[in-house]
Structure 1
């Protein structure tokens, strides 16, 4: 069957038109933020530089793309239309008369729709896994840097032990089918997912232990909400069915947290060893504050600048890592629309057709670029402060 095509101009305008919810969301967020930037603290300071605006624009673009993926995509990412196999960009489906804006892949799926839905996987796993790694690294790095001695030696040895493994080899060992079919990933998930609950319980206890009316409310919210999420993620036992993660995604999630936590630990430990010598820490010790109060409410807030910058960079590294795992066919299902898997599928026929490989590659590159620009701007602002 002879396919019809739209022009290059039609492809460009079609892509721009499909992203209409993203343009509206960007305008709603960024225009008021720019107008009231002086009242928005560190976030508002990002609008003082072109690098910060560019980084925010790119990151928010992909965030809203993930949120509105079902509206933006003209096709289901798994839908196959045989006639559109390896179709060139701009090909028109003869049955639905919808356009394959970026063409079709080797399995006759819409490349544009798969790129859009791939952003959901990246923006769920990468920031969430980085957040959990941050919780683990902070919870262990604070006492290591503050107390020193044997505690520091033991925790630093464990962190260095993990860092000694090559990252790709470590992920290969954790995500291979032999390990995925064992209780090991669930046991590791059960351990790692406890850290956010422990962190917030200790955070609220040290702050409000003399105000039981507020303390009990915060502890109840933390334990109920944390237990609900914990049960859904680790045991897949959420009664409402809201909190759920596929087994293959859980394995990748756990592997990212396991590999990233030692790096966060070392950064937090170094910051704490420097900040604990400051006068305001000595003043808190003189007031008789507990060590964990000093760590969480005196030291940690003053270490937030480098940690925010590292978080942005680490999300970018995790995104690249997810793409690498997908490229090697590890972790996610073969039909997954994540960018790494899409690049792997397209690379097998790269000499014959190049168009299926370009959109996920550019998407991955642009998102990481946005995170790096955002981190650079945050670093500049933190140095000014």
Structure 2
């Protein structure tokens, strides 16, 4: 049975129509952002430059794509239609008129649907892993830069020890199947995932220790939410069933946090060593404020600009890293639609069929480009401030 095909214009029009929820959300968010940009602080200032607008638009596009992946995708990313194996873009299944907009892969799955669902996986793992790496790096970098001395020497030695390893080798050691079956990933996860709880508990305690009516609800909320997330991530025992993480995802998560934290630590340490010499820090010390209050409420807010820029860039690096791990077969499960795994699967038949490799490659490139443009715009605004 022969396949039918539609033309390039019909493919283009079909893609535009499938993304209708994204276009609506983009129009609403961007329109509101431009209208009220003077009231939106740093985010509103991004709309004063073309680079900032482009970066925000690309990032929001993939964010809304991930949110509405189930609506946008015409097929299940794991669904197979035998006759559509290696089908070219625009292929129509005889009889049912089902259209594979970007063609089919070697296992007869819809390339377009897999690209869309791949964004959902990437936009969950990369920002979340970066957030945890920031928590670890900030929590350790603040005392290292503020106290100096032996504390700084010890923590800097640990950071430099991790940074001394080649990145690919480090990830290979952490993500290989042999390591997955050992307690090492769960032990590291148990340590790393404590840092957000410690950070927010210290943040609220130093601010409201003399105001119990504010302190106790905030600490209770932190411990409740932190304990819930901790149980789901480390023990896969979320009582509500919202947090479900596979061993593969946990290992990648831990590996990213482990490798990224030392870089964040060095940035925070350097910023603290510079900021702690400022007059407002000396004024806080004169008032008798505790060191942790000064670190969390005087120094950290004034270091937010470089940290926000670094976070954007680090999410991009993590996205590329996830793609690299997937390409080398060290990422998620083989059937996963994440972009790295999709590129790896398509590369094996690249000389015969190039179309399955292009959509995930372009998706990965455009998302990272958006993050880099966003980071550049944020850097320009922070320099003006």
Shorter-normalised TM-score: what interval? over 0.9
Report the counterpart of residue 15 of structure 1 in structure 2: 15
Structure 2 residue 81 is matched with structure 1 residue 64? no
- For 1:179-328, what aligned pairs fall within 5 Å after superposition? 179-328=179-328
Counterpart contact for 2:102–2:112, Cα < 8 Å: yes
Counterpart contact for 1:208–1:215, Cα < 8 Å: yes
Counterpart contact for 2:331–2:341, Cα < 8 Å: no
Instruction: Name structure 2 gaps, 5 residues minimum.
Output: none
Counterpart contact for 1:176–1:331, Cα < 8 Å: no
Report the counterpart of residue 332 of structure 2 in structure 1: 332
3-state SS, counterpart of residue 329 of structure 1: coil
Report the counterpart of residue 164 of structure 2 in structure 1: 164
TM-score by length of 1: 0.99
**Cα distance in 1 for residues equivalent to 2:96 and 2:268:** 55
- For 1:58-207, what aligned pairs fall within 5 Å after superposition? 58-207=58-207
Counterpart contact for 1:141–1:269, Cα < 8 Å: yes
**Cα distance in 2 for residues equivalent to 1:4 and 1:255:** 45
3-state SS, counterpart of residue 102 of structure 1: coil
Counterpart contact for 1:232–1:243, Cα < 8 Å: yes
Counterpart contact for 2:88–2:103, Cα < 8 Å: yes
Structure 1 segments, 4+ long, off by >6 Å, are none
TM-score by length of 2: 0.99
**Cα distance in 2 for residues equivalent to 1:318 and 1:109:** 26
Deviation of 1:331 after TM superposition, in Å, equals 2.9
Instruction: Name structure 1 gaps, 5 residues minimum.
Output: none
Deviation of 1:93 after TM superposition, in Å, equals 1.8
Aligned length: 385
**Cα distance in 1 for residues equivalent to 2:248 and 2:378:** 34
Counterpart contact for 1:251–1:331, Cα < 8 Å: no
Deviation of 1:239 after TM superposition, in Å, equals 1.3
Deviation of 1:246 after TM superposition, in Å, equals 1.0
- Deviation string 1:282-331 (CA, Å, 9 cap, x unpaired) is 00000000000000000000000000000000000000000000000103
